[in-house]
Amino acid sequence: MKFGKQLAALISVAAFAVALGTAGGAKADAMADAEALIKSHQTLPDFKAPGPAFDAKACMKDKKILEIPLTMANPFNAEIAKAMAAAAAEVGFEFKNWDNQLKVDQWVQGMAAAIAGGYNLIDLQGGIPPAALGPQIDEARGKGLKVTTTHLYDVTQDIPPNLDGSARMNYTRAGQLMAAWAFTKTGGKPNVVIIGSDEIVPTAPFVKSIQDTLKGYCPDCKQQHVNVPVTEWATKIQTSVQSALVADPSINFILPIYDSMSQFIVPALRITNRLGEVKIATYNGTPFVLDMVRTGEVDMDVGESLGWIGYAGIDVNMRILCDIKPAVTTLNTPLYIFDKSNIKTAGEPATFHDGYGDSHLKGFRKLWGLK
């Protein structure tokens, strides 16, 4: 009898130790790693020079840049374009934004205008896939123009050989943050639905980053990936999320990789009576989604300062034109986590710029020898 009690106690202690050690399939140090990663992106962003300082005013004298945004109908692209124009004005070189409405023929016209106008560099900003402009890029480069992209590729993606450079974004880190958030907020037991749009260039590494990070934290945790093309967000995201929630009631986090998807996820949570119970963590820092963080409909949004992206994009392009070595291929724009604890800093209603501070302005001016 005594032996039986001892055996039972031993088994209980062993079971408790196993439970503590695995925390629902999670590694013991995974929680600490995830929390540390999150914490490192909750402090106000500080400027870190992407490369050596240079005299921008001198080397950009007589040089011109034409930038083609994905579409000026998207405030994301429009705000980056504005910031790029402001940075160019500070340095004092000619900069032109090619206004368009997401039409390939307008992009082609922009490329032709850059060649005819004697520009030195064409920057495809915020989503234009270079594959859509292959012949035009070849023609421009054949005539001595440089062609680059800003905020298109992930840091893990190679820059295509028909480009002279690229200011890549750290989508991989954004994915790690989203995975870490879901992991920590569920006590190490995330069951997530990742929603992406595979036709967007950086989606694949972004989604892979979330998947790999979650697998690293807890190999047994459940995750599923749903692909919804951008043109079908309004008709497919809601039904996809609803179906997933009905099929698996243990889902506790939805991870839309672009935060504008959230507006179609919230109704799905309401209809299935899971709003508040199932959380949303996402990326982009779009103002209306930050407003949804304030109201509690979205749990977390990884934001990025569009003003900073604009200045960083100009920095990369100037380095290419001025042949500054080593080449910079990544935007130094930090990722900053917004949740209920700091959402007030994003403004009410939220804006694209509030909450990030303005250390980038001082930093870039000093880097470029302006002040």
Partner 1 sequence: MIERRLAEVEGQRRAVRAKRSRAVGQRTIAGEMERFGLIGAWIIVVIVLGAVVPDAFLSWLNFSTIFSSQAVLVVLTLGLLITLTAGDFDLSVASTLTLSAMTLTVLNAQHGWGVIPSVAVALGCGVLIGAINGAIVLFFRIHSLIVTLGVGTFINGIILWISDSQTIAGVSFDLVSWVIVNRFPPGGGISLTFYYAVFLCLAIWYCFEYTTIGRRLLFVGRGREVARLSGIRVDRVRLGSFVVGSTIAAGAGVLYAGMTGSADPTSGLSLLLPAFAAAFLGATSIVPGRFNPWGSFIGVYFLVTGITGLTMLGVNTLVQNLFYGGGLVVAVTLSQLVRKRQPQSIS
**Interface segment toward partner 1; rule CB under 8 A; list 62-70, 130-138, 259-267, 337-345:** 259-267
Nearer to partner 1, 12 or 239 (CB): 239
Site string for partner 1, 41-80 (x = CB under 8 A): -------------------------------xxxx--x--
Site string for partner 1, 128-167 (x = CB under 8 A): ----------------------------------------
Q: Which long-range contacts (CB under 8 A, 24 or more apart) does 7-15 make?
A: none
Q: Based on the shown chain and the rule CB under 8 A, indicate whether residue 260 belongs to the binding site for partner 1.
A: yes
Which of 233, 308, 338, 368 binds partner 1 (CB under 8 A)? It is 233
CB of 69 to partner 1, least distance (A): 12
Q: Based on the shown chain and the rule CB under 8 A, indicate whether residue 309 belongs to the binding site for partner 1.
A: no
DSSP string of 14-70?
HHHHHHHHHTTT--HHHHHHHHHHHHTTSSPP----SS----HHHHTTT-EEEEEES
Q: Based on the shown chain and the rule CB under 8 A, indicate whether residue 83 belongs to the binding site for partner 1.
A: no
Which of 67, 123, 297, 315 binds partner 1 (CB under 8 A)? It is 297
Contacts of 77 (CB under 8 A, 6+ apart): 69, 70, 71, 125, 126, 127
Which of 211, 227, 342, 345 binds partner 1 (CB under 8 A)? It is 227
Which of 109, 242, 342, 359 binds partner 1 (CB under 8 A)? It is 242
CB of 357 to partner 1, least distance (A): 23
Q: Based on the shown chain and the rule CB under 8 A, indicate whether residue 349 belongs to the binding site for partner 1.
A: yes
Number of residues that bind partner 1 (CB under 8 A): 44
CA of residue 348 relative to chain centroid, distance: 22
User: Exposed e or buried b for every residue in 29-57, given b needs 16+ CB within 10 A?
Assistant: ebbebbeebbeebeeebebeebeeebebe
Q: Based on the shown chain and the rule CB under 8 A, indicate whether residue 234 belongs to the binding site for partner 1.
A: yes
Strand partners, 192: 223, 253
Q: Residues 218, 189: contact at Cβ < 8 Å?
A: yes
CB of 226 to partner 1, least distance (A): 7
Q: Based on the shown chain and the rule CB under 8 A, indicate whether residue 228 belongs to the binding site for partner 1.
A: yes
Q: Based on the shown chain and the rule CB under 8 A, indicate whether residue 264 belongs to the binding site for partner 1.
A: yes
- Residue in 150, 155, 181 with CA at minimum distance from that of residue 33: 181
Contacts of 67 (CB under 8 A, 6+ apart): 81, 84, 95, 96, 97, 98, 122, 123, 125, 150
Strand partners, 224: 193
Which of 14, 235, 340, 344 binds partner 1 (CB under 8 A)? It is 235
Q: How far apart are CA 49 and CA 321, in angstroms?
A: 18
CB of 269 to partner 1, least distance (A): 10
User: Exposed e or buried b for every residue in 80-101, given b needs 16+ CB within 10 A?
Assistant: bbbbbbebbebbebbbbbbebe
Question: Which residues make up the interface to partner 1 (CB under 8 A)?
Answer: 72-75, 78, 224, 226-229, 231-236, 238-240, 242-244, 246-248, 260, 263-264, 266-268, 270-273, 286-289, 291-292, 295, 297, 349
